[in-house]
Every structure is written in structure tokens, then in C-alpha cells.
């Protein structure tokens, strides 16, 4: 059921008050480290990524460092994350492109970011929002699930969910709403056994009304 503007406003207000300190759980010290961490986080928990990145970032500090190595050497540092062999190849290729095409800097448009190996739309949107403060909403598994359960979106795929959220949520809140929905998905609106009994937005949620 389509939400009214007042219902959406209420949902966003409650989520903002419930998760006031919400931000990415990935640990990084600069935008380049954020890019690598987000690439590693695909189909892997942020906690698992945070276990491998301290040693990784001690050894490799810039795109120039990564670009010199072969995938097998990098694999030793990221074995703790899922799909590490593929991610190793993509990270090295991406860093080589950053060195050759962008002088080691990270491009600031979605189109350029998505041309980097291993960088899909979700990763690009995270970088645009978190690293560069641009209005973008990244849809990961938590955002997809929670948005469609609540009724902020009515979509069967990630791209359409993103489009629905962009229509329903004020543009200046896209980046924050991304984190609110993630936190809500991790803490209450879990994939299995969601905690509807303690959910602060249960009266406004489509899933709870069924």
C-alpha cells in the first residue's frame, strides 16, 4: 500500500531518532580505504571486512601500492572475506585504472566509478554519499528488505527499490536514510524472525499489518 507523505515523514523521523549516530560500520581513514573496504564488503559482513583491513592497509596504503602486486599476493591478506579471489583481481585492476587514468584519485561521478572492476551501483552510491557528500542512496540487502517490508518501496529488484526510495525520500536525506534502514535491518527488521513486537515503526509498517 502506497504511503502518504505524512506517513513517510513519520517513518523517517522515528528512524532518525532511533538511530541518531548511524554511519558506515566499515573502518577506514581516507576515501581510498573506504573504496577498498566497500568493495570487500560485497556478500560479506562489515565486521568481517574490519578484521582484515587493518593489516591490509598497513601493507597497502595507496592505489600505487596495490597496482604493483599480483592477485595471489593480495589474496593472503583478504582470505577472511567471501569471494576473495575475485575481489583480489578486481581491486588490483581498479587500482591500476586509478593510477593510469586518474592519477591515483577516486573519480567523483557514478558513471566513472561503475567503470571500475568490482564497483557496482551500490558501491558507487556509497562512495558518492559517504566519501563525497553527494545525494545518493545505496541499496544493499538490508535496505532492499526493510524498504519493501515497510512500504517505502514496492519493488522486486534493487534498481527499482532505489528509484522508489528516491521518489519517496527527500533528496537531502538520501545518505542518512540509507544508514537508518541498514541499522534497522541489522537490529530489528532482520531477514529471519524480525522483532516486530519492539519495532518503533510497526504501526506504519505494511509487513506488520499483514
> 41-63: b or e for each residue (b if 16 or more CB lie within 10 Å)?
bbebebeebbebbeebbeebeeb
Query: 3-state DSSP call for residue 129?
Result: helix
CA distance 56 to 60: 6
> 15 near 112, Cβ under 8 Å?
no
What radius of gyration, in Å, describes the C-alpha atoms of the chain? 18
What are the DSSP calls for 45-59, one per residue?
A: -HHHHHHHHHHHHHH
Cell numbers at residue 21, please? Answer: 549516530
Active site residue 87: no
Active site residue 164: no
Q: Of 3, 87, 122, 164, which one is the catalytic site residue?
A: 122
Residue 133 gets which letter from DSSP? -
> Which residue of the set 51, 58, 87, 140 is catalytic?
140
Q: Cα 26 from chain centroid?
A: 10
Which residues belong to the active site?
Answer: 122, 140
Amino acid at each position: 500500500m502506497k504511503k502518504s507523505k505524512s506517513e513517510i515523514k513519520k517513518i523517517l523521523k522515528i528512524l532518525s531518532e532511533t538511530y541518531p549516530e548511524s554511519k558506515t560500520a566499515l573502518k577506514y581513514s581516507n576515501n581510498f580505504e573506504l573504496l577498498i573496504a566497500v568493495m570487500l564488503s560485497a556478500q560479506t559482513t562489515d565486521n568481517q571486512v574490519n578484521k582484515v583491513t587493518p593489516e591490509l592497509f598497513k601493507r597497502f596504503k595507496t592505489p600505487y601500492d596495490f597496482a604493483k602486486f599480483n592477485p595471489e599476493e593480495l589474496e593472503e591478506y583478504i582470505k577472511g572475506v567471501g569471494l576473495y579471489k575475485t575481489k583480489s583481481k578486481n581491486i588490483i585492476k581498479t587500482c591500476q585504472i586509478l593510477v593510469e587514468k586518474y592519477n591515483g584519485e577516486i573519480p567523483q561521478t557514478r558513471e566513472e566509478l561503475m567503470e571500475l572492476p568490482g564497483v557496482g551501483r551500490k558501491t558507487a552510491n556509497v562512495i558518492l554519499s559517504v566519501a563525497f557528500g553527494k545525494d545518493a542512496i545505496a541499496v544493499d540487502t538490508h535496505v532492499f528488505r526493510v524498504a519493501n517490508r515497510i512500504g517505502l518501496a514496492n519493488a522486486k529488484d534493487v534498481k527499482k527499490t532505489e528509484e522508489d526510495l528516491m521518489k519517496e525520500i527527500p533528496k537531502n536525506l538520501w545518505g542518512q536514510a540509507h544508514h537508518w534502514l541498514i541499522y534497522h535491518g541489522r537490529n530489528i527488521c532482520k531477514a529471519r524472525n524480525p522483532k516486530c513486537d519492539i519495532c518503533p515503526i510497526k504501526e506504519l509498517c505494511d509487513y506488520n499489518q499483514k
